[in-house]
Amino acid sequence: MISTSIHRVNFYDTDAMAVVHHSNYIRWFEIGRVNFLREIGITLGEMMEDGYVFPITEVKCKYIASGKFDDVLRIETTPVALTKVKMEFSYKIYRDCDNTLLVEGFTQNVFTSKATGHITRLPEKYYTKMQNALK
């Protein structure tokens, strides 16, 4: 399953060279992840209320072309691996008007107890929805 999110580059997303600052792409990966979860019927708020958080333990971003102010970006988020304690995603961010690939990326997220900060197994009510999205 590929989840697609749209984001318009704001002026404050750019740097002194008039291109998107590299750190913003990592933030936009999060937009994609959160949207993916919503699409499969999970909200981060609900997970947090149940005592689970979803921090990143690994991130990779390959920069291919530059985004600019007011570009409309298409963020494609794909779940690529899942266990009871972690989930991995791949990302592609395109400039939507001309389909130019700007970045490719990857994150590994672990399921963690909000109370203790320790890695924990995800309950079936979340795991099953995530597993079904991988099919």
pLDDT for 18 equals 84
CATH number of 3-134: 3.10.129.10
Q: Where are the domains of the chain?
A: 3-134
Q: What is the DSSP string of 69-108?
A: TT-EEEEEEEEEEE-SSEEEEEEEEEETTTTEEEEEEEEE
Which of 16-25, 65-74, 104-113 is least confident?
Answer: 16-25
Q: Is-catalytic flag, 96?
A: no
Residues 49-66 have pLDDT tens digits of 999 999 999 999 999 999
Residues 53-99 have pLDDT tens digits of 999 999 999 999 999 999 999 999 999 999 999 999 999 999 999 99
Which position among 15, 70, 71, 96 bears the catalytic label? Answer: 15
